[in-house]
Amino acid sequence: MTAADAVPLVFVHGTRFSAGQWGVQLAALRDEFPVAAVDLPGHGERSAQPWSLSSATGIIASAVDSLGRGPALVVGHSLGGYAALEFARCRPERLRGLVLAGASASTRGLRAVPYRWVASLVPRIPADRLAQWNDRLLRRLYPPEVVEATIRSGYAFHTLPAAWSEVLGRFGADAMRCVKAPVLILNGEKDVVFRSGEADFTRAHPHARVELIPRARHLANFDDPDAFTDAVRRFAQQLPAVG
């Protein structure tokens, strides 16, 4: 693959985070691919914007268009993975490939109950206290070069209830049938909850495969940034040419 043929990559962050989640991946891949990372509505620089999946898909589409290279490989983590699934449904002509990271669990039925409870609990805890807890957790688990961009960008706890209220009950493996591009389901080996539907998600799509990052948890791109980046790179290089 020449530089002119390189697949454009758009990264979509997970719950409460922002584009800063992808700092390591952007730095590692920008010399090989056109890359962008978005802030979803209500997150990062769009903190004041109301959440909606419709707005999220528009933001992803704008990022794809900004790279000026046609359909893109969209990499979505957790909440961003479900937003990427919605983008795949609404804007299939702008999607060249899809990486779902920590987003291959059904958000319907009894599995959604704990997340509805968390979403209802978050507004009762002061945001500064939640931020302090998150800062301490990230700094305890990961080296500064992996998480400092995320910490500097702050957290979108105020958006969590609205975001998960719209996602919960909406996505199951049948959402994969709307995806017209190849799919990589990229999960941390130990991300038991968000891996729970990966077999069903894979069966629902004719060109989907699973890759696990050994010993990684839900934040697989933090747990093993190099392995995560390498998986995205290999998948991008294997995508069929446009047209």
Is 85's pLDDT higher than 60? Answer: yes
Positive/negative CA dihedral, 193, 223, 184, 50: positive
State the average pLDDT for the chain. 94
CA distance 8 to 74: 9
- For residues 81, 45, 24, 158, the Cα torsion angle rounded to the nearest 10 degrees is -50
CA distance 190 to 63: 31
Mean pLDDT (whole number) for 24-33 = 97
What integer pLDDT is reported at residue 115 of this predicted model? 72
Q: Which pLDDT band holds residue 36 (cuts at 50, 70, 90)? A: very high
Residues with Cβ within 8 Å of residue 163, at least 6 apart in sequence:
15, 40, 42, 51, 79
What integer pLDDT is reported at residue 216 of this predicted model? 98
Q: How confident is the model over 151-194, as pLDDT tens digits?
A: 999 999 999 999 999 999 999 999 999 999 999 999 999 999 89
What integer pLDDT is reported at residue 121 of this predicted model? 79
What integer pLDDT is reported at residue 23 of this predicted model? 96
| 73 in Cβ contact with 184 (< 8 Å) | no
Q: Please give the backbone phi and psi of residue 38, each rounded to the nearest 5 degrees, phi first.
A: -105, 155
Is 3's pLDDT higher than 70? Answer: no
Is 2's pLDDT higher than 60? Answer: no
Is 116's pLDDT higher than 80? Answer: no
| 223 in Cβ contact with 213 (< 8 Å) | yes
Is 58's pLDDT higher than 90? Answer: yes
Is 122's pLDDT higher than 70? Answer: yes
Better pLDDT: 243 or 120: 120
Mean pLDDT (whole number) for 50-72 = 97
Residue with tokens 């961009």: 149
Is 73's pLDDT higher than 70? Answer: yes
Over the range 13-25, which residues count as b (16 or more CB within 10 Å of their CB) and which as e? bbbbbbbbbbbbb
pTM for the full predicted model: 0.95
Q: Which pLDDT band holds residue 123 (cuts at 50, 70, 90)? A: confident
What integer pLDDT is reported at residue 118 of this predicted model? 72
Is 243's pLDDT higher than 70? Answer: no
CA distance 165 to 51: 10
Is 4's pLDDT higher than 60? Answer: no
What integer pLDDT is reported at residue 74 of this predicted model? 98
Is 226's pLDDT higher than 70? Answer: yes
